[in-house]
Structures are given as C-alpha cells and as structure tokens.
Structure 1
Amino acid sequence: MAEKKVQTKVERGVYLSLTAYIVLSLLKLGIGWLYSSEALVADGLNNSTDILASLAVLIGLKISKKPADLDHPYGHLRAETIASMIASFIMVVIGLEVLISAIKSIVVFEIEPPSVIAGITAIFSALVMMGVYRYNIRLARQTDSQGLKAAALDNRSDAFVSIGAAVGIFGAQLGIVWLDPLAAVLVAIMIIKTGWDIFYETSHNLSDGFDYEEGKRIEKQILNVQGVKQVTDLKARKHGNSVILDVTIHVHPDLNVIESHAITEKLEAELRRKYKVESISVHVEPHEIRKEVETNE
C-alpha cells in the first residue's frame, strides 16, 4: 500500500471522529445542562476533550508527511506518536476535572432528577460512536497507524461512557437520584484510564521500546530466509507506523560478497512485505561450522 494512500485513509478516519465529536459534544452539553444530567454533561465534556485530541492527532499526521531532512534522516513519522501522547494528556486532565465535579455533586447532594430525553441522547450517542469505532479500528489495522488506533480506542471508550451515562440517567428516573452523578464519576474514571493507556503505549514507543513477542516473530521470519544460519543482536524500534530494524545474521563462510548480499536483499524484501519495516541495517557474519571428529578406538 502506497504511503500516500495510507495517510489519506488515516486522515479520513480522524476527520470522521472529529465531526462526530463536535456534533455529539454540542448535543450532550446542551441537553445535559437543559435537563439537569450530570452524567450527560460529563459525557459532553469528554467529547470536548476528544475534539482537542483529534485535532492534535490530525496536526501530527500533517507533520509526519514531511520528507526526511538533515535534522530528521528517518523522516517525521514520530510526530503522529507525539500527537497521540498530547491527546492522552488532554484526556487525563479533563477526566480529573469531571471526577472532581461529580464527587462534589454527590457530597453536596444538590441533585435534580434528569429528563428521559437526556437518557435517549446518551443511547443515541453510544450507537453513533460504536459505528465510528468499528470504521476506525478497521482502518487502523489496515494502515497500522498508532494515531488512528488511539482515536479508535477512544471512540470505543466514548460509546461505553455514553452507555454508563444512560444507565445513570434512567436509574435516576426510577428514584435512585444519586445514580446520575455516580455515572459521571465512572465516566471520569474511564476517560482517565483511556488517557493512561494511550500514554503508556506512546511513551513505550518514543523510548524505543518494542514488543518482545513481535521481535521473536521477526527473528523467526529472518531464519526462514534461505541462507540465514543464525540471527544475533536483533534490535527494533517503532517509527510512527513503521519499524526500524538492526540485525546481525550469520551465513555460510564460503559465500562470496555477492551471494551474501543476495541473501540480505531477500531478507529485506520479506520483512518490508510482512512487517512494514521502513529501514533495515543488516550486518553479515560468517557462521561457525562445527565438525564432528570421529575417533576409532
């Protein structure tokens, strides 16, 4: 898949999320304040943070398109990862604000039962966001985009948040008035958790962390290349939605330079095809051949 086509698909998903968040946040905040629902207002504030997060991801995607230069020989793909981290900070801060507000409401207990209209709005929002999540997670898997994956996970958590808000609103209608602000507390916790999950993954990638199991799968794939006898000193790191790989392979000591080079070309083509490896540095070493000495007694 061409890089330009991948970027177009990712941007399409982010624009979809952004549009949904703008519409739903205005709808939830308006109806939440009008019909006295703490949970729906919290949900609307959650979507407001998502607008900022989506904008951050979109800016990161624009920057990541810039070609390599003297200061960025590998390009600017990590701008997308940095944008995802900024989005996680925004989510955590707003989540804490919603949490404090909801707890104050429970302690003071100046609560009015919300309207059924607020509950219907929450259910409608959940259905919309689940649809956006399914679309974006499919695109994220196709493009291996960290930014879009973060956006998709946020879409899903937003759907669950709206369901929780609906439960609190309808519970308040049944006489359990404190259930609405309690739902707002749960909404805040989910916002904070989503922000933390995104922060954890992005910080892991920015600090050159790499999934151990994926590394073992790449090593196994290298060993499947004809002519590779052994793999040592494999190092990998994420660069946006691509992988940068440094590896030492051992080949038969009798091979000449041209034959060894042919093995490395075959290896590089295989890894680029299967693992979206952007840059590969292969060091070739002669494989030590151990001969068994038979002794006749």
Structure 2
Amino acid sequence: MNQYDKYKEGEKGAWLSIITYLVLACVKLLIATIGNSAALRADGLNNTTDVIASVAILIGLKISRKPPDADHHYGHFRAEMIASLIAAFIMMTVGLHVLSDAIQTMFTGEFQPPSMLTAWTALGAAIVMFAVYLYNLRLGKRTNSTALKAAARDNKSDALVSIGAFVGIVGAQFQLYWLDPLAGALVGLIICKTAWDTFSEATYTLTDGFSPDEAEDIKATIEKEPHVLQIKDIKGRLHGNQSYIEVTIYVDPDMTVKESHKITDQIEDILKQKHDIPHAHIHIEPFVEEDKGQSN
C-alpha cells in the first residue's frame, strides 16, 4: 500500500468518527435537556467539537492525497498536521467553556437530580466510542496516520468521559448532587488535555521534530551495510505520515561512482523495507583518516 492509498484508507476512520459523533451529540444533548444532567450535556458538547475536529481531519487527509505540483514539490502531506492543529484549537475552546459552566454550577449550588435515563445514555455512548476507538487505533497503525492516531486518542478519551458522566449521574441519585457538575468539570479537563496532546504532536511534526531513538535505530541499520565505513551525519523529519531521512556516509575513496551509487540504492531499499521510509537522501563522501578524527 503506497502513501496515497494509506490516506484514502484512513478516510474511513474519519467518516466513522463523524457519523458516530453526530448521532451521539444529538442524542446526548436531547436526553440531557430532558433528564437535566450537566455531565451529559457537557459530554454532548464535547461530541459536537469532535464532529468539527473529525471533519477537519477528513479534509486534511483528502488534501494530503493530492500529488506534488508546481508549488508543492514534496506533496501535500503536511495538510494532515494542519488539520490536527485546527482540531486542537476547537477542542480547547469548547473544553474551557464546559469547564467554566461546570465550575459556575458547583459554586452557585443550583443542583437538581438528573434522570437515570441520562446515566444509561452515557454508558451506552461509552461502549460505542470504545468500539470506534479500537477500529481507528488499528487503522491508524496500519496507515501510520498521525491525524488518525490523534482521532483514536480522542475516541478513547470520549469513552472515558462518558463513563465519568455515568458515575457522576449515578452518584447524584444518592443525593450527591454535586457529583453531576463535578463530572462535567472533569469532562472539560479531559477535553483540554486531549486538545493539548493533539496540539503538541502536531507542532512537534510541523517544526521538524524527530525522535532521537528512531534516528539511532535507523543509524544502526545503516551501519550494518558492509561498505559503509562510517556515518558522518544523520537527520530526520516527518512529512505527514512519512519519515524523510538525510544521511552522510563515508565509503572507500577508491570506489567508482557506479559502485557508490549501488550502495545508496541498497541502503534506500533496506530503510524502506525495515523502517517504512519512502524517501531517503544518501550523501557519499570518501573516507580518509582525518575524517575519522573530525567526526569523533
């Protein structure tokens, strides 16, 4: 499966999230109004932001599938990260709003017991969202989509949010009315935490962050090539769901251009097979003794 097919496959998870969130948001907000539950209302508002975030991710995945053009020589893969960034801002805005409303309710002391119908609605929604989480998690790993993995984390947090709402509503049935708005406040905090995690991952990728551990694994793989006498430098960056690698290696100075080129082809093939790296730039330099002293 090539990179463009992976993005197309990832769109299935985005569509599943959109449809699920849309249905759950409508059901939760309606039942919360009827059953008078602050926690379920907050959970429903959370799902409305998830609809917007999932739409942003879907658009990002579609744009990422566009091939390179005159203005984008490396393609449009980073559109996925921009979509994640937009989703993070939306989630943070609603999370702060939900948190503010819940805290205000707790301090005013205007508590009213919610209906148990709202509790069963929250529990049912948690089961549905956990199933969506498992599907998107597997799909995100298979397609190596950062946006889809972020969506899966959001799915999981939504399932936990609904469980929290269920606990708060059940507690309110035992005269612990403050548990319902407290659950709403916890929902707000979870939304903000999820937004921050999504924002951090997107900005890390957009600023060309790359895991040092992954760079070391790639370096160890290249060092196994018998014609590589030494690695002078290795750099990596993420471009959507792809890793781009630049490596400078030392080889025997008596090698011909043809022989050196063959080595670079072998390294590129190994990196693609073992590390799923579709693009690697291998720079060849002749090995001399003073180079060894300079690189240490």
TM-score range, shorter chain: over 0.9
What is the distance in 1 between the residues matched to 2:172 and 2:224?
Answer: 61
> Given the alignment of the two structures, is residue 210 of structure 1 paired with residue 210 of structure 2, yes or no?
yes
> Given the alignment of the two structures, is residue 148 of structure 1 paired with residue 144 of structure 2, yes or no?
no
> Given the alignment of the two structures, is residue 239 of structure 1 paired with residue 239 of structure 2, yes or no?
yes
User: Could you say which residue in structure 2 is the equivalent of 1:106?
Assistant: 106
- Offset of residue 2 of structure 1: 2.6
- Offset of residue 120 of structure 1: 0.5
User: Could you say which residue in structure 2 is the equivalent of 1:252?
Assistant: 252
**1:118-149 deviation per Cα after TM superposition (whole angstroms, max 9, x unaligned):** 01011100000000000110111111001101
Which letter does structure 1 place at the counterpart of 2:131? G
What is the distance in 1 between the residues matched to 2:136 and 2:58?
Answer: 14
> Given the alignment of the two structures, is residue 192 of structure 1 paired with residue 192 of structure 2, yes or no?
yes
User: Could you say which residue in structure 1 is the equivalent of 2:293?
Assistant: none
User: Could you say which residue in structure 2 is the equivalent of 1:128?
Assistant: 128
User: Could you say which residue in structure 2 is the equivalent of 1:172?
Assistant: 172
User: Could you say which residue in structure 2 is the equivalent of 1:75?
Assistant: 75
> Given the alignment of the two structures, is residue 24 of structure 1 paired with residue 24 of structure 2, yes or no?
yes
2:42–2:98 contact (8 Å) kept in structure 1: yes
- Offset of residue 257 of structure 1: 1.1
User: Could you say which residue in structure 1 is the equivalent of 2:66?
Assistant: 66
What is the distance in 1 between the residues matched to 2:234 and 2:277?
Answer: 13
Please give the secondary structure, in 1, of the residue aligned with 2:228. Answer: coil
- Offset of residue 203 of structure 1: 0.2
**1:32-54 deviation per Cα after TM superposition (whole angstroms, max 9, x unaligned):** 11100000000000000000000
User: Could you say which residue in structure 1 is the equivalent of 2:36?
Assistant: 36
RMSD: 1.1
What is the distance in 2 between the residues matched to 1:282 and 1:270?
Answer: 12
1:226–1:263 contact (8 Å) kept in structure 2: no
**1:95-140 deviation per Cα after TM superposition (whole angstroms, max 9, x unaligned):** 0000000011111111111111101011100000000000110111
What is the distance in 1 between the residues matched to 2:18 and 2:109?
Answer: 35
What is the distance in 2 between the residues matched to 1:158 and 1:225?
Answer: 47
Please give the secondary structure, in 2, of the residue aligned with 1:254. Answer: coil
Structure 1 unaligned regions, length at least 5: 291-297
145-154 or 277-286: bigger deviation? 277-286
User: Could you say which residue in structure 1 is the equivalent of 2:95?
Assistant: 95
- Offset of residue 271 of structure 1: 1.0
User: Could you say which residue in structure 2 is the equivalent of 1:50?
Assistant: 50
Which letter does structure 2 place at the counterpart of 1:158? D
What is the distance in 1 between the residues matched to 2:66 and 2:47?
Answer: 30
- Offset of residue 289 of structure 1: 5.2
Which letter does structure 2 place at the counterpart of 1:239? H
Please give the secondary structure, in 1, of the residue aligned with 2:278. Answer: strand
Aligned residues: 290
What is the distance in 2 between the residues matched to 1:168 and 1:26?
Answer: 20
- Offset of residue 174 of structure 1: 1.2
TM-score, normalised to structure 1, is 0.95
- Offset of residue 78 of structure 1: 0.2
What is the distance in 1 between the residues matched to 2:232 and 2:173?
Answer: 65
**1:142-195 deviation per Cα after TM superposition (whole angstroms, max 9, x unaligned):** 110011011100000000000000010000011100000000000000000000
> Given the alignment of the two structures, is residue 8 of structure 1 paired with residue 37 of structure 2, yes or no?
no
Which letter does structure 2 place at the counterpart of 1:55? V
- Offset of residue 7 of structure 1: 2.1
User: Could you say which residue in structure 2 is the equivalent of 1:271?
Assistant: 271
1:36–1:112 contact (8 Å) kept in structure 2: yes
1:154–1:194 contact (8 Å) kept in structure 2: yes
2:8–2:65 contact (8 Å) kept in structure 1: no
What is the distance in 2 between the residues matched to 1:61 and 1:224?
Answer: 36
1:231–1:247 contact (8 Å) kept in structure 2: yes
Structure 2 unaligned regions, length at least 5: 291-296
31-40 or 250-259: bigger deviation? 250-259
Percent identical: 49
**1:197-231 deviation per Cα after TM superposition (whole angstroms, max 9, x unaligned):** 01001101000111111111111111122311211
What is the distance in 2 between the residues matched to 1:251 and 1:165?
Answer: 62
